[in-house]
Amino acid sequence: MLVLERDRLGSGTTKGGLGGMRHQFVDELDIRLSQLATAFWHNFEDRTGSRHDFRERGYLFIANTQEGVAELREPLPLYERLKVPVEMVGRVEIAELVPGMRVNDLAGGRFCERDGYGDPLVALAGFAASAQLAGVAFREGEAVVSLLREGDRVTGVRTRSGNVRAERVVVASGCWSSALCATASVAVPIWPYRRSIMESPPIPQLANIPMTIEWESGFHFRPKGKAQRFAMPNLTADGKEEKGPASAPLAYPGDYAPLEVPASLEPWVRARAAWRHPAFADLDIVDSWSCYYEMTPDDHPIVGAVPGVAGLYVAAGFSGHGFMHAPATAQLVVEEMLDGRARTIDITDLSLERFQTGRRPFKATVL
């Protein structure tokens, strides 16, 4: 097996991610992917021989409105059926989960103790080391410029240094997957959506809190080692909060916004953070960066075989959920490659076919 990386492993979106892992989705398939992935994260050291610190401290969603609370409550029957320990929480419980946080403006919240967060770069290092020991070869700085296709079969890829022949090719190129697949006349509706993260020094009294997310605004924060990290929505030209793209581009992959943090975001984060917790009143932003979400029209990934092109597979378009579902995706793609279908979980609904036929099996949702 050969992995081709155009830059260095982890140099793209992986290094910029928040590292969240959650079960609190509204579609059953997402939850089952999280359950499968979480089982792997718990056994990461046994499976890879490397350490990865999965902090199972939960996800806490907080809502300012009764409408928000109703939306948080809606999927509870699904969680109960799938045996996911999710509970609605009030102001008292919220204040216990995040000591000192302002709660007098909240209408309620939702919490799952099995959710949490990890470190994408540390996990990647473990994956790569384990793969190399198993015989996988990595070529860094080797950009794939096109896919090679003969009739109804993929035959390999073309890189800047030459052709690489292969019976099977997996395109896992994030928001660049659309342009790459187009070289084999395969239309893949994935496009880049810029999101930003900011970091402050650690807040000792908040070192063990859950990932905390404002349901209405999309503002969220979590501790990370010797830092506190903040993620925020984008702001439109008129100052409105935008948790996800307003629409898909007219043609894929669309435009790539410059990977710079918009100047309007830092004052918004300072004000929002100071309102939410007094420990953030004099927030010292020491670092900030932007990266790309790899979006699809229904905010769900495209995973599996490409219809009509034998040997070609896609695993991209995770819309912000790539890290948390990475172990599950890898297992299911390999099952489909070797057995013709994924056996552990049925991933038919993730097929590219849904966009070719207009089938819509999911509810669109972005954090």
Percent of the chain with pLDDT over 90: 94
- Residue 204 CA to residue 186 CA, distance in Å, equals 50
Q: Is the dihedral of CA 158, 163, 164, 167 positive or negative?
A: positive
The answer to whether the beta carbons of residues 211 and 57 sit under 8 Å apart is yes
User: Can you tell me the distance from the alpha carbon of 307 to that of 239, in angstroms, rounded to the nearest whole number?
Assistant: 42
- Considering only 3-17, 100-114, 201-215, which range has the smallest mean pLDDT? 3-17
For residue range 107-149, list pLDDT tens digits in order: 999 999 999 999 999 999 999 999 999 999 999 999 999 999 9
Query: Among candidates 182, 138, 193, 180, which has minimal Cα distance to 320?
Result: 193
Residue 90: φ, ψ to 5°:
-100, -170
| Tokens encoding 281 | 């009143």
**Count of alpha carbons within 13 Å of 115, Cβ hemisphere only?**
26
At 366, the pLDDT band (50, 70, 90 cuts) reads: low
Q: What are residue 86's phi and psi, to 5 degrees?
A: -110, 140
Provide the pLDDT for residue 104.
97
Tokens 């439109």 belong to which residue?
236
Q: Which tens digit of pLDDT belongs to each residue from 10-27?
A: 988 888 889 999 999 999
With 70 as the cut, is the pLDDT of residue 30 above it? yes
- Average pLDDT over the chain, rounded to whole? 96
Q: What is the pLDDT of residue 15?
A: 83
With a threshold of 0.75, does the pTM exceed it?
yes
Query: What pLDDT is attached to residue 12?
Result: 84
pLDDT over 90 (residue 251): yes
User: Alpha carbon 188 to chain centroid distance?
Assistant: 18
pLDDT of 161 > 70? The answer is yes
Q: How confident is the model at residue 367 (pLDDT cuts 50, 70, 90)?
A: low
CA-to-CA dists, residue 306 to 120, 156, 303, 322, angstroms: 28, 15, 9, 19
DSSP code string of 317-342: --TT-HHHHHHHHHHHHHHHHHHSS-
pLDDT score of 337: 96
Residue 336: both structure tokens together: 């489909």
Q: In order of start, what are the domains of the chain with their CATH numbers?
A: 2-14+121-191+298-357 (3.50.50.60), 55-116+193-295 (3.30.9.10)
* The token pair that represents 69 in the structure block: 């609370």
